[in-house]
Amino acid sequence: MMARPKSSILTESELRLMTVIWDKGSATVKEVVDALTQEHALAYTTVMTTLQTLTNKGFLRHEKQGRAFVYHPLVSQQETQRNAIDYIMSRFFNNSPELLMLNLLEHDDVDLNDLEKLKRLVLEEEDGDS
């Protein structure tokens, strides 16, 4: 069972670092710094401090290997996405998945392929409930 994070919402910079660690499976501070794009480059000490914050929040654990700490995710990317959706839904859409979906469909450019996928998912969900 994964530890429940104290705060389920990540800041932009926390999300960038978590994405690197999810992609790599685990990483040292240096590996995270090296993986950041030039556009999002951060100083080594900033990355180190943010990774410690993520550890304190319950998103990461670390272990010492040689002189470096290796950080491992405690929460999956999917769980973090789900928490963000739940947060948005409760905060802005009165806990209504329907209102959230209607808003997305009315205000975003959704192509026909995406609509077909959604339709299939809805039909599969209905078949599963029978």
Q: Are residues 25 and 81 in the same domain?
A: yes
Kindly tell me if the per-residue pLDDT of 114 is higher than 90: no
- pLDDT-derived band at 2 (thresholds 50, 70, 90) equals low
Q: Using one digit for the tens of pLDDT, what is the confidence trace for 84-112?
A: 999 999 999 999 988 998 888 887 678 88
Beta bridge partners of 64: 69
State which residues form the domain around 30: 1-92
Q: Are residues 82 and 103 in the same domain?
A: no
Q: Are residues 22 and 35 in the same domain?
A: yes
Q: How many domains does the chain have?
A: 2
Q: Are residues 81 and 102 in the same domain?
A: no
Q: Are residues 74 and 37 in the same domain?
A: yes
Q: Are residues 82 and 126 in the same domain?
A: no
Instruction: For the sheet with 27-28, list strands across it.
Output: 27-28, 68-73, 60-65
Q: Using one digit for the tens of pLDDT, what is the confidence trace for 25-79?
A: 999 999 999 999 888 899 999 999 999 999 999 999 999 999 999 999 999 999 9
Is this prediction's pTM over 0.85? no
Q: Are residues 107 and 87 in the same domain?
A: no
